[in-house]
A = this chain, B = another copy of it.
């Protein structure tokens, strides 16, 4: 049995949506799928059992944070991330590149790789395409990503091309280095190209033709308008090989998931659902609500009437409101469980609609009903989070 496979079970005739199954050594992943982010070897505030109960099929962990603390070697000595954090399902690790590039003056980039200083203690480190393969081998995730360069928004066409071409050279170095490590791990390629449609097409063709069993689309959702992101995806997808699963890196609000699926994406990860939950923002079919709002003070029903999550099955919205207002730790858990379940149910419904041939109607209905956070709210959040992003994303 190969360590990794992807089979497509249904394709939408009116969009690029597809339903499939990714097989990994730690289990099957039905796609489309949302992947909760467990930055420091824990999805903030929830246990592995709660992740399972919410329907999580795969989670993501961050190489940058884990290499610094507790260190990839220590995790390796404990049998890898699965054993260390007691999550026996599939795991994906990023390359650490995104966080390192966000460090600004703390890092120095060259053809060899990226030298940087730890945000924790200032200690010097270097990431190269080769060292990242070693670190991710030690972490032991099922799916791993190569070091890439995420160009900032905005970037000049010249910067964008330079970053893309270096990313391509690093992709080839990563593939060569990966040979020496665990064949049970699967290395995805990363498509870049910043905000230039032509570069996105070129990168999709180049990386898509390398022997990567799956592809991640990087460098999006870094500050550009949403419409720009979708436009760039529209240029990218047609150039990607059909048979490889496609992961849209760092993207994953409810509406992004619904739209992204139609643009041919299979896998999504984002801290947004868990992060906004901790700030009181909870997802419902009608849109994002703020559970701290006075209207929930005496709300007898659950957060959402037909939600089957632990929070909604157990507690009134009034109690969740009380916990959120008093900043009780149980709130963070209850809010996180609700939003994760929302995302995972949404992914399952998207999959079912693709199989049933009704994805376009599902998408249109969802978007008509769902009120996302307004652009203004989003902007405030973006600014708030930007500073923290490099270190905590």
Contacts and interface: CB of A to CB of B under 8 A. Distances in A.
Interface string A291-335: 000000110100000000000001110110111011011101100
Q: Copy number in this complex?
A: 2
B298 A77 contact: yes
Interface residues of A, number: 34
B74 A328 contact: no
Interface in A36-91: 40-42, 44-47, 65, 69-70, 74, 77-78, 84-86
User: Considering residues A65, A70, A78, A314, which has the most beta carbons from chain B within 10 angstroms of its beta carbon?
Assistant: A70
A374 to B, nearest CB: 28
28 contacts: A40-B322, A40-B323, A40-B326, A41-B319, A41-B322, A42-B328, A44-B328, A44-B329, A45-B330, A47-B330, A47-B333, A69-B322, A69-B325, A69-B326, A70-B297, A70-B318, A70-B322, A74-B297, A74-B318, A77-B298, A78-B319, A84-B316, A84-B318, A84-B319, A84-B322, A85-B319, A86-B314, A86-B315
Contacts of A333: 47, 329, 333
Nearest to A68: B326
A329 B45 contact: yes
Contacts of A45: 329-330
B78 A316 contact: yes
A298 B46 contact: no
Nearest to A316: B78
Contacts of A319: 41, 78, 84-86
Interface of A: 40-42, 44-47, 65, 69-70, 74, 77-78, 84-86, 297-298, 300, 314-316, 318-319, 321-323, 325-326, 328-330, 332-333
Contacts of A316: 78, 84
Given A40-B328, A84-B316, A86-B319, 9 more contacts: A44-B328, A45-B330, A47-B330, A69-B322, A77-B298, A78-B300, A84-B319, A329-B332, A329-B333
A379 to B, nearest CB: 27
A311 to B, nearest CB: 10
Contacts of A47: 330, 333
Given A69-B325, A314-B86, A319-B85, A330 B46 contact: yes
A46 B84 CA distance: 22
A390 B40 CA distance: 35
A304 to B, nearest CB: 18
Contacts of A74: 297-298, 318
Nearest to A278: B329
Contacts of A85: 319
A207 to B, nearest CB: 33
B298 A330 contact: no
Contact of A318 (B78, B323, B329): B78
Contacts of A321: 70
Contacts of A322: 40-41, 69-70, 84
Nearest to A323: B42
Contacts of A41: 319, 322
A292 to B, nearest CB: 12
Nearest to A298: B74
A138 to B, nearest CB: 14
A54 to B, nearest CB: 14
A319 B84 CA distance: 6
The 6 closest A-B pairs by CB, nearest first: A45-B329, A70-B322, A40-B326, A42-B330, A42-B328, A44-B329
